[in-house]
Amino acid sequence: MNSSPAQQIPGVYHRKIGDIVVTAISDGYNDGNLDILRNVDADRAREILVGAFRPVRRISINAFIVHTKVGPVLIDTGTGGSLSPTNGFLIRNLAAAGLRPQDVRSVLLTHMHPDHSAGLTNTETGKPFFSNAELVMHQAEPRYWLDDGEMARAPNDRVKAMFEHSRSQIAPYKARTRLFVGGEVLPGIDAVFIPGHTPGHTGYMISSAGQQLLIWGDVVHVPEVQVALPDAGTNFDVDYEQAVRSRKKILDQVATDRLLVAGMHLHFPGFHHVARQGDGYLLHAEAWHHGL
């Protein structure tokens, strides 16, 4: 019998921050071209990826469980399979981490793009996957995505579909949605407002026993390119200029403070440090943590 593995082991990884365990959960990945990038020379971007031994624009799609003292908190929900057949594996990988969707007590969103919020609700049944969870996000996020005027001004059908999709995804959670403007969101979890990519785009700082981790959402989408060239944005940035300012501010902060970061599109399991290099920055993927 041939016992050679036919698929990768489940995408699950634990990292302890002080007394809090954070579990990275892979939703899968997405392949694409570099056309999503703005304000960058395509040859230069390709050269950076080749230099980093990366296949051209393969991006991870990650979510994170924070095991707080009040229960498991999920940050982002993946694509729900809405993007391509190579993603939508959040719930399968949650099971590999010993968690059922109904165990999640809060879902925190970094923002309402479909690769983050489309795993909230089963599109076939209209039922929420996280039946016992409150939904938590920055107040500027639904204010934008639920605004009919903003939807009417959407530059193309693809963006218009994002509005429709995100609305239907959050609808079943209406009675248990909690919006914040900043500060502590849950014990050990503080909101870090990083606007631009979307109006309410928010990272989450996990703090415990003198250690910290910033789960920074979508500060970058094509990691090597956008840390080396922080002026490079994407077509999906709602306010491109503000996104650049936010990216530069966060990169400066985490490099200065030598802060551990994790990201939804940093290569799985997504834990990195950021160092200065030339006019930009360089990512250092954290090596496997043995034990907790």
Residues forming contacts to Zn ion in the complex (CB under 5 A) are 115, 218
Q: What is the CA radius of gyration of the chain?
A: 18
Contact 213, 22 (CB under 8 A): yes
215/75 Cα distance (integer angstroms): 9
Using the minimum distance from each CB to Zn ion, give the nearer residue, 141 or 218.
Answer: 218
| Ramachandran angles phi, psi of 90, nearest 5° | -55, -50
- Tell the smallest beta-carbon distance from residue 180 to Zn ion (Å): 20
Residue 211 C-beta: closest distance to Zn ion, Å: 26
Q: Least CB distance from residue 270 to Zn ion, whole Å?
A: 12
Q: Which residue(s) pair with 179 in the sheet?
A: 137
Taking the complex as a whole, the smallest distance from the CB of residue 221 to Zn ion amounts, in Å, to: 6
Smaller CB separation from Zn ion, 208 or 216: 216
Closer CB to Zn ion, residue 20 or residue 24?
A: 24
Identity of the residue, 189 or 218, whose beta carbon is nearer to Zn ion in the bound complex: 218
**CB 265 → Zn ion: shortest distance, Å?**
6
Q: For 175-232, give the DSSP string.
A: GGEEEESSSEEETTEEEEE--SSSTT-EEEEEEETTEEEEE-SSS-SSHHHHHHSTT-
Q: How far is CA 50 from CA 12, 53, 108, 200, in A?
A: 27, 5, 35, 33
**Based on CB atoms, which residue is closest to Zn ion, 188 or 263?**
263
Question: What angle is formed at CA 111 by the lines to CA 24 and CA 187, rounded to 5 degrees?
Answer: 60
